Structure 1
Amino acid sequence: MNNQILKRTILAAVTLLLAMATRAAAAPELPLLPLANETITVTTLHDVTDFSGNQQVADLPGPDGLVSFREAVNAANNTTGPQTIAFAIPTSEFWLITGVALLELEEGPFSLIDSATTVDFSTQTTNIGNTNPNGPEVGIYGLQPNGLGAAAIFVNGTNCVIKGLGNVYQRGYAVKFVGNNNRLIGCQIDGPVYSAISVSGYIGGPTPTGNIIGGTAPGEGNTLTGLDILGPVDGTIVIGNPLLVGVRVEGATRYNVFARNTRIGGTTVAERNVISGNGSYAEEGLPSGSQVNIVDADGTLVEGNYIGTTADGMARYPQQIGPGGIEIRDARGTTVRANLIAGLRSVGVNHYAGQVFGVAVNVAATNSDMDNTVIEGNTIGLAADGVTPILTHSGIVVAPYLLSHHALNTLVATNHIAAVELAGVAVGATESGVKITANSIHDNGRLGINLNGSGNHAQPFPVIQWASTTGSSFSAQGTLDSVPSSQFTIEFFSSPSCDPSGFGEGATFLGSTPLTTDGAGHATFTVTLPASVAAGTTATA
């Protein structure tokens, strides 16, 4: 029988010889939190500075008898040794938001340039009480004119920790990490104009390295409305966060600005991030936005996350508008591995009313070629139990936006793609280097693999003439007509039933066999594989 799914594996020899490198999942242990030998306690939310002398810890407080956050930061910067900045702001000063000590920011950003300083906003709860059951007790409100584009806190030092910060208003970011080996833990931040957190250096300056957003110990994860990791930047780790409403990793290599070696998630449950809820309706009602954007970046690893779903992985994230799961564009050396990606389906409004959008993983190119993208071992369209469908519009799409650029050396392997409305994997008409192998693709609304136009050289599928099973082994015979004198690999699959289209998908990968066509492009195969296949199932290749 003819089987469209076979297009996934029968590629020209030049494709099969591509070296698809993957990276080891192991990562170095997280650095220990700094041990503080001195505590500075903030006792007022007003942005005042009236202490004098060398403006060190010993000079606090000033004549007003109080310590502001700005004074605490300045004192930490000017005093040798690690410090902890704690909070004990009386409720009598609270304003604007009930139960929250909303720090006033009037004199420019709070700039932490010292090393090994911990800013522990959660100490407000310990010292004053749980005045805000819905989140952290301390936030920041920007009152500085023309300060909307800047971060509230700049961390230029090394080995610093920001812990337990709440919402930040009237600023571009809550915290911007510019130094090295800093950490953000236990924060719940909404409100900034751009994103909650930025990890990014200055163009022409040192590259921030080794900064960590989240952690694997209880309480170290963050809930953030937006995380921007923008070049120059290297070695950022994002782990264990219960909700990230959008993550962006972006470089600008044409200007020698690189975003390198970002790791989002990991191999353990504790390292998993939930990345959901991003996006908005753009002009005329078009749903816009992806949960993870990787643009012009190098060596990004996205592993073991729940993307587009609730925290338990069993349903679509209800507030989600953005139709994209993972968008990879103009990037190099990206690996997307062992993630759960589902619920990516959005319906337009206004002029786009009734139109449906959504893609789990989109590999594209606009300004430069993609290279060495690996998409492997992901579950797409199903819940965490591997059975329950979560409505998803389409699976994996490899189709650059411009004809002049391509997705080179792309591997789509060992993914489980099911119950999506459109194709499981779609390859654009101009792409010829997409190796699609050993996936489980079934119960989708359209073809398991859709080679648009001349995608992957419009590779013909083989024809299975007969197939049989003993229960413990599988045998098949058939033919292939394709490129003359070329090497191919034919993969075999079984499914409970044939796809209604007559071009079967492939639910269970059984194995493969090599094959070489003759000078006329014809080849025959007879194969027996040690695979357990029940009688009455459908075979595809």
Structure 2
Amino acid sequence: MKPVARCILTTAIVVGLAGPGAMAQTVTVDTLFDVSDFGGQQRVADLPGADGRVSFREAVAAANNTAGPQTIEFAIPTDEWWLVDDIALLELQWGAFVVRDDETTIDFSTQTDFTGDTNPNGTEVGIYGLEGNGWGTPAIIIDASDCVIRGLGYVWQRGHAISIWGGHRNRVVGCVTTDVEIDPYPDHSAFNVIGGTAPEDGNTLQSVSLVCGADDNLVIGNHVETVFVGASRYCDTSSRNRIGGPTPAERNIISGFGSYSGEGFPIGAGVEVSWATDTLIEGNYIGVNEAGTARVPQTGPVGVDISDSDNTTVRDNLIAGLWVRGRNHYDGRIFGEAVRVNSINRDNLGTVIERNRIGTDHTGLNRIQTRNGIVVSQFTGIYSPHGTRIGGTEPGQGNLIAFCDVVGVGIGPLIEDAEVSGNSIHSNTGLGIDLSTWSGFDGVTQNDPGDGDTQGGNLLQNFPVLTGATSNETAVRVEGSLNSRPSRAYRVEIFANAECDPTGYGEGEVYLGAVEVFTDSQGDADFTVDLAGTLPDGGWVTATATDIAQGATSEFAACLQAETGCVADFNGDGDVNTLDVLTFLNAWNAADPSADIDGDGDVNTLDVLAFLNLWNAGC
């Protein structure tokens, strides 16, 4: 049996939408027994039946058969309550309660107005399934549009608390129950909202499922253990669904998910996307508490699990606390990945992971124990994720990935095109970026001449070799070379670090900028790049190389400690004099990148002013 949470379905009541003469009406349920003894056309006007009471089944049938918007409220006397003494448990004996009339509102929260707040931990009306063999079916089915369910409580002995099978623009709000699913196959259901931005609209749920033709739906402002978005090859994909949003009010708190298999292997994810298209996961707290300060105990080893899908975006989330110990046969083994991108039954395409905080608290300054940060890998040797982008080249696209027990970013051995750009990656126990071989995430993979080795993540792209680094109050100059495949364009990204990684390679705490290089016929390219920014005293620089056409990024280069330099000593002879002015002006007239003194990416008169100010100051 799946646990059920309370939920509220609420819809706006607009007189006249159902046509001339259609009036909004309210029906009050005053018994918890599952009976139906009213006659006539079984409309609202025919209530109550012979027993003088109105059951929930009668109220739903009357709403379905009466034109116009209807509201169902609750006032069940406490002398009928049974099994538990703090809520009215509606009996369900004769199949699901099916809502087929548009603009129906079912407001379970009105029971509180009748009896008071008898259940401080939830709402006052739940449902108990007494129907034989009914455990796999829903308690409430919505097959209509513009309906609202508000304040449903716990549901026992049913497969789902609420299922939306058809229609559009329905809302489920204020419930504390087991789950909500949108499963309209073979039709499609769109623009439904689970939760809301008002404090009273968020649900507390064990799960939300958007499957098989659930399109353009929102899941916002809830406390939920797990969210599933997707389908399978046997039904229509689910498209353009959004989990969370850009504002704090739209944030879902997703935690407490997962379970153990019979052999003790931990399974489950906070958000799982499988066989879906254009899913957006944005602004959520996953694996942590509502304050974003600590891990919530859970068994599921993955924060966001993406497979067999197209164009999934994971943006602006806090994902941490993914650290689980196995049991039984897996006792002693530790599992955990904040984000996993993989393929099982088809290629996964175009995943974007940007602007997230992974392995940290909400400030980004403190550790919340996490096993691995982002892992892109394959489940079998047949299919593979392609076109995964972690961070980006535009300002603000980078992720913060820090304090992980193993790798910050891990790329599996069959992955050919995972781009890792513009991120802040630091303080991870293993490598910041680890290109796996068939031996697993095994530490630094050294460069090979001509970059011909391909038996590993991102085809084991070679990293740059840094040969010089100087810094002053405003800029950093880095020199180095790259040996890789011949006659190809690469983007070399430069990073600053307060300390060098213990391995001597990376990590990349502060992204300084990038330079594009083109290898010659031998696969060699030299570079000198001046970047705006500063380094701490004794600071270090490192770099990555990305094959631009392939979209494959290397591990971090060996870090190099920067020397304190003097920009005004432009010719590097150790003396600041007029020869430096002449050398600078020659470079400036030639639009050489070294003359970009202010590091804005453009060589112009502002650079002349910046250089002369430094020259007049003596350095």
The answer to whether the superposition gives a TM-score over 0.5 is: yes
Letter in 1 for 2:493: E
Secondary structure at the counterpart of residue 189 of structure 2: coil
User: Residue 474 of structure 1 corresponds to which residue in structure 2?
Assistant: 476
Q: How far is the alpha carbon of 1:296 from its aligned partner?
A: 0.7
Q: How far is the alpha carbon of 1:218 from its aligned partner?
A: 2.1
Map of 1:257-268 to 2, 5 A cutoff?
Answer: 257-268=236-247
Q: How far is the alpha carbon of 1:415 from its aligned partner?
A: 0.7
- Per-residue deviation, residues 428-483 of structure 1 (Å, max 9, x unmatched): 11111111100100000100000012211101111111111112111011111111
Q: 2:69 aligns with which of 43, 63, 82?
A: 82
Tell me: CA distance 1:256–1:166, structure 2 relative to 1, closer, same or farther (3 Å): closer
In the alignment, does 2:185 pair up with 1:238?
no
Letter in 1 for 2:95: G
Distance in 1 separating the partners of 2:62 and 2:115: 23
In the alignment, does 2:35 pair up with 1:38?
no
Distance in 2 separating the partners of 1:67 and 1:340: 47
Letter in 2 for 1:230: V
Q: How far is the alpha carbon of 1:417 from its aligned partner?
A: 0.3
Q: 2:171 aligns with which of 183, 192, 196?
A: 183
Q: How far is the alpha carbon of 1:535 from its aligned partner?
A: 2.8
Q: 2:201 aligns with which of 212, 220, 243?
A: 220
8 Å CA contact 2:11–2:103 kept in 1: the answer is: no
Q: How far is the alpha carbon of 1:202 from its aligned partner?
A: 2.6
Alignment RMSD (CA, Å): 1.2
Identify which of structures 1 and 2 has the higher relative contact order when contacts are C-alpha pairs closer than 8 Å and 6+ apart: 1
- Per-residue deviation, residues 97-140 of structure 1 (Å, max 9, x unmatched): 12110000001000000011110000000122111112100000
User: Residue 520 of structure 1 corresponds to which residue in structure 2?
Assistant: 522
Secondary structure at the counterpart of residue 73 of structure 1: helix
User: Residue 323 of structure 2 corresponds to which residue in structure 1?
Assistant: 345
Map of 1:351-390 to 2, 5 A cutoff?
Answer: 351-390=329-368
Distance in 1 separating the partners of 2:196 and 2:55: 29
Deviant stretches of 4+, over 4 Å = none
Distance in 2 separating the partners of 1:376 and 1:266: 14
In the alignment, does 2:295 pair up with 1:316?
yes
Mark the structure with the bigger radius of gyration. Answer: 2
Map of 1:98-497 to 2, 5 A cutoff?
Answer: 98-178=85-165, 179-190=167-178, 196-203=179-186, 206-241=187-222, 243-252=223-232, 254-318=233-297, 320-413=298-391, 414-453=398-437, 454-497=456-499
In the alignment, does 2:22 pair up with 1:60?
no
Letter in 1 for 2:206: T
- Per-residue deviation, residues 233-288 of structure 1 (Å, max 9, x unmatched): 211111111x1110011222x33511111100111011100111110111211111
Q: How far is the alpha carbon of 1:34 from its aligned partner?
A: 3.4
List gaps (5 residues or longer) in structure 2: 1-9, 16-23, 392-397, 438-455, 544-619
List gaps (5 residues or longer) in structure 1: 1-30, 191-195
- Per-residue deviation, residues 35-85 of structure 1 (Å, max 9, x unmatched): 472110000000001111111111111111110000000010011111110
Q: How far is the alpha carbon of 1:32 from its aligned partner?
A: 7.3
- Per-residue deviation, residues 390-443 of structure 1 (Å, max 9, x unmatched): 000001011011111111111000110000011111111111111110010000
Tell me: CA distance 1:487–1:32, structure 2 relative to 1, closer, same or farther (3 Å): farther
Tell me: CA distance 1:127–1:383, structure 2 relative to 1, closer, same or farther (3 Å): same
8 Å CA contact 1:472–1:533 kept in 2: the answer is: no
User: Residue 17 of structure 1 corresponds to which residue in structure 2?
Assistant: none
Q: How far is the alpha carbon of 1:354 from its aligned partner?
A: 1.4
Distance in 1 separating the partners of 2:522 and 2:381: 31
User: Residue 563 of structure 2 corresponds to which residue in structure 1?
Assistant: none
Letter in 1 for 2:408: G
Distance in 2 separating the partners of 1:299 and 1:207: 16
Distance in 1 separating the partners of 2:13 and 2:496: 55
Letter in 2 for 1:172: G
Secondary structure at the counterpart of residue 541 of structure 2: strand
Q: Percent identity, aligned pairs only?
A: 48
Secondary structure at the counterpart of residue 118 of structure 2: coil
8 Å CA contact 2:240–2:279 kept in 1: the answer is: yes
